[in-house]
Amino acid sequence: MERKRQPKRAGEKQPACNFSGGFNLIELMIAMAIAGLVLTVVYATFGSQLRTHVGQQMTVEIQQSIRAAFTLMQHDIRMAGYDATWRDENNDGSHDFRDSDLIDNDCDGRADAADPGRDEAGDLARFTAAGAHYLQFRLDRARNSDFCDSEDRIGFGFSTTRDRNRDGVADAGAAPLGRSVGAGGLQPLAENFQAVAFGYAFDDDHGAALPDGEIDTNGRNIIWAYDSNADGLLDTLLDSNADGLVDSADDLDGNGRIDDAALTPAVPISRIRAVQIWLLARTRSPLRDHLDTDTYVAGDKVLSFADHYKRELLTTVVNCRNLGLR
């Protein structure tokens, strides 16, 4: 049965409606402000994490560059002086070449001595350049009993187009480290290097005709030096204060270069028996959240920066096991 609607009485008020149909303007503005704050925090967190990720990726890149460069450099330098036909007939640690008497075995324009079958004095396969920022040496890569082939000479350093004043610091901030074979120019080996440097240890025993097969020391520490003027003589010390470390304290005059102490007497580069390598690499781009205020010592260079590039400095020592070390 249909219920009849009661007629509205005169003066009777309609009941108030309890249903709200939406937000008012103030509530909407508050909600938007809260959402904006949340989005700002999310965006800032995302941006920070993204920068951290990019920075970590670039750090890995420079570590891989250094690792790749070290691997090849160590392999090549360790083989300096390698001769496939080498033998030590007298068991005295000297290089005796197989049937090479009276032959210019190492391409210096002098015939090798006939007796007892070894090279003439000081004529061993050796380093041909031993600068603070560039080195070159010979080995018998062709395995044909001499060191005269183009491929028998290997060098490392920056090319002159990347380091015009040959100070071991890349002119444009960073450059590829180069490797040369023979008369060819330096070819890129790895990227993003800012500085490269070398130091050399030797077995000279004060000019002895036949050194003892041990790297020379100052009584406590290995002597590291380099050839400052490309005359074939190690003449400048890296550990100027003889404390066993190559560091900023060795820059005695504070000019940013370790060149204050002479090696006396100078030592022929044919007596080199080990090489210390310094490689300073930097990220390909600056990192906004990073400020580099460190001081780096790379061989004879003391370097300081105040920028946003991240850098890695690594050093290693390579013994030249084919050059008479016991």
The DSSP annotation for 39-90 comes to HHHHHHHHHHHHHHHHHHHHHHHHHHHHHHHHHHHHHHHHTTT--TTEE-TT
Q: Does 215 reside within a domain?
A: yes
Q: Cβ(280)–Cβ(195) under 8 Å?
A: yes
Segment 11-69, tens digit of pLDDT: 556 555 555 566 788 888 888 888 888 888 888 887 777 777 677 777 888 889 899 99
Q: Does 284 reside within a domain?
A: yes
Segment 56-65, tens digit of pLDDT: 777 888 889 8
Q: Does 28 reside within a domain?
A: no
Q: pLDDT-derived band of residue 299, with 50, 70 and 90 as boundaries?
A: very high
Q: How many domains does the chain have?
A: 1
Q: Does 303 reside within a domain?
A: yes
Q: Does 95 reside within a domain?
A: no
Q: Does 149 reside within a domain?
A: no
Strand, helix or coil at 316?
strand
- 10 Å CB burial of residue 290 (0-12, 13-18, 19+) is middle
Q: Rounded CA gap, 113 and 122, in Å?
A: 11
Q: Does 170 reside within a domain?
A: yes
Query: 198 is in which domain, residue-wise?
Result: 49-79+154-175+190-319
Query: pTM of the full predicted structure?
Result: 0.78
Q: Does 35 reside within a domain?
A: no
Predicted pLDDT at 116: 43
Determine the average pLDDT of the residues in 167-186. Answer: 91
Q: Is 81 left (phi over 0), alpha (psi -120 to 50) or beta?
A: left
